[in-house]
């Protein structure tokens, strides 16, 4: 594993996601899949099926992050425009690729492989294909951009072929401390003081509200597991102090 910080951006494409008809699960899955590889997702964006928006977003993310993962818009219908947009983002031509057609023929007969389905074999010039063991229609890689299907089960299967192409980075570890009976506001100042005393630790607080429990979960993440043990002790001490203060009121 390298000592480099490896970053990723996720671009989820689809009007149905923005309308609320479909709920995205790909962002969460990809982020969790990348975490043990030491690849940090720094931004995820959901965008519509619009060529100019896809082109501009992909160009922006490609410059900012080590890797980019796009999902959606590579099917057989008229609004599946991701492949064309990726080609345009990198100034590449796009056409039906015979190796992609051979993959499709593992699923479809010559009669079934109509004009619409052949759209799934349109690949930007020079791209490397990403295998799809579920429905055979391939994804593809251009530069640092991995273009995957939007259907979660297919997207997850495609990641199998992607993993060996990725450089791994510094793994982040995490610890959590649950505090009942206190609020985020109570902990804001002492939490910021703890975070400022460490250069490589990210602290977050996540409130919990329900009819039976009011509390906060504090989560610390960083590359040094031993350092995180010290942070955990400080968080536990902070929680004890806040509870004592609360009991005096």
More confident residue, 226 or 184: 226
Q: Is 70 left (phi over 0), alpha (psi -120 to 50) or beta?
A: beta
- For residues 225 and 188, what is the distance between their CA atoms, to the nearest angstrom? 24
Confidence of residue 205 (pLDDT cuts 50, 70, 90): confident
Query: Which phi and psi angles does 19 have, rounded to 5°?
Result: -80, -15
Task: Output the pTM of the full model.
Answer: 0.83
The CATH code that applies to domain 6-165 is 3.40.980.10
Q: At what angle do helices 152-162 and 26-34 cross, to 10 degrees?
A: 20
Instruction: Find the mean pLDDT for residues 56-61.
Output: 98
Fold (CATH) for 173-248 = Alpha-Beta Plaits (3.30.70)
Confidence of residue 208 (pLDDT cuts 50, 70, 90): confident
pLDDT at 209: 64
pLDDT at 213: 59
Query: Which phi and psi angles does 2 have, rounded to 5°?
Result: -75, 170
Max intra-chain CA distance, the chain: 79
Q: Is the pLDDT of residue 211 over 80?
A: no
- For residues 117 and 209, what is the distance between their CA atoms, to the nearest angstrom? 49
- For residues 164 and 31, what is the distance between their CA atoms, to the nearest angstrom? 17
Predicted confidence (pLDDT) per residue in 34-54, tens digit: 998 999 999 999 999 999 999
Confidence of residue 228 (pLDDT cuts 50, 70, 90): very high
- For residues 235 and 232, what is the distance between their CA atoms, to the nearest angstrom? 5
Tokens read off for 78: 């008229």
Query: Which phi and psi angles does 227 have, rounded to 5°?
Result: -65, -35
- For residues 219 and 178, what is the distance between their CA atoms, to the nearest angstrom? 9
Q: At what angle do helices 184-196 and 225-248 cross, to 10 degrees?
A: 140
Predicted confidence (pLDDT) per residue in 65-97, tens digit: 999 999 999 999 888 999 999 999 999 999 999
Tokens read off for 95: 């056409």
Name the residue among 134, 100, 105, 102 with its Cα closest to residue 120: 100
Could you tell me if 182 and 217 are in contact, meaning their C-beta atoms sit under 8 angstroms apart? no
Query: Which phi and psi angles does 190 have, rounded to 5°?
Result: -65, -30
Half-sphere exposure in the Cβ direction for 108 (13 Å, CA): 19
Domain ranges of the chain: 6-165, 173-248
pLDDT at 99: 96
With the CA atoms of 137, 87, 41 and 136 taken in that order, what torsion angle do they form, in degrees rounded to the nearest 10? 0
């Amino acid at each position: 594993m390298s000592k480099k910080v490896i970053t990723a951006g996720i671009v989820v494409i689809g009007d149905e996601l923005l309308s609320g008809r479909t709920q995205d699960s790909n962002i969460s899955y990809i982020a969790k899949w990348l975490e043990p590889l030491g690849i940090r997702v720094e931004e995820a964006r959901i965008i519509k099926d619009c060529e100019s928006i896809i082109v501009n977003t992909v160009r922006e993310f490609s410059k900012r992050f080590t890797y980019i993962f796009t999902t959606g818009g590579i099917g057989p219908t008229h609004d599946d425009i991701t492949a064309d947009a990726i080609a345009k983002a990198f100034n590449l031509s796009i056409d039906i690729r015979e190796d992609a057609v051979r993959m499709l023929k593992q699923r479809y007969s010559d009669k079934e492989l109509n004009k619409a389905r052949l759209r799934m074999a349109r690949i930007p010039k020079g791209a490397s294909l990403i295998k799809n063991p579920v429905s055979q229609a391939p994804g593809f890689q251009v530069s640092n951009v991995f273009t995957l299907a939007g259907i979660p089960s297919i997207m997850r299967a495609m990641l199998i072929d992607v993993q060996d192409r990725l450089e791994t980075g510094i793994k982040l570890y995490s610890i959590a401390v649950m505090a009942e009976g206190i609020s985020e506001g109570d902990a804001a100042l002492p939490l910021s003081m703890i975070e400022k005393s460490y250069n490589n630790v990210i602290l977050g607080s996540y409130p919990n509200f329900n009819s039976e429990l009011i509390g906060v979960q504090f989560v610390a993440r960083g590359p040094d597991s031993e350092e995180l043990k010290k942070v955990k002790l400080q968080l536990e001490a902070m929680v004890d102090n806040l509870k004592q203060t609360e009991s005096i009121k």
